[in-house]
Amino acid sequence: MKISAQEEYGLRCLVQLATLGAGESLTLNQIAEREGVSQANAGKLMWLLNKAGFVQAMRGTKGGYTLARPSGEIYLNEVIKILDADEIDNHCEGYKGVLDMCIHKGDCGIRPLIVGLHQIVNEALSNITLAQLVGEERKVKETFQQIQRLERKAANQILGS
């Protein structure tokens, strides 16, 4: 599984906001500059995140973006769901083969695997908050290694290993 550019940059924008102190905000230009993305791309991401209730946009000379709720209350599965253009429920509809649709649409042994993997990833992301992404890389990596160990146990139980 891989994370899309939209998902990664959306998370990066949120991390930028999560590092701010009380009463601070970032303009769209500041966010785009800090993350090395175009202002148009940052604008699209912030629009999606604002519409979903993750960020607040304030107008005016002292305006900018802030988190709409504490970073410890924003779970990554919620964010990815908003930023993810690929709907797992309709994965057979977006079939990429030479035919119009997947020939296994009615009875597919691969579908439960794909759906199960997405459920495992979603479950893992539902245990990680935006606050856990803020800090030194080493500290964040240690947190994720602990989560990975727990998720491996869960995956083994689901897959019957």
pLDDT digits (tens, 9 = 90+) for 21-79: 988 999 999 999 999 999 999 999 999 999 999 999 998 887 899 999 999 999 999 99
pLDDT digits (tens, 9 = 90+) for 4-14: 889 999 999 99
CB 74 within 8 A of CB 14: yes
Sequence spans of domains, the chain: 5-159
Burial class (CB in 10 A: 0-12, 13-18, 19+), 75: middle
3-state SS track over 89-152: HHCCCCCCCCCCCCCCCCCCCHHHHHHHHHHHHHHHHCCCEHHHHCCCHHHHHHHHHHHHHHHH
pLDDT for the residue 101 = 67
pLDDT band at 115 (very low <50, low <70, confident <90, very high): confident
Give percent of the chain with pLDDT exceeding 90: 45
| pTM, 2 dp | 0.77
At the topology level, CATH places domain 5-159 in Arc Repressor Mutant, subunit A (1.10.10)
46 CB contacts (<8 Å, ≥6 apart)?
Answer: 13, 28, 31, 55, 57, 65
pLDDT band at 130 (very low <50, low <70, confident <90, very high): very high
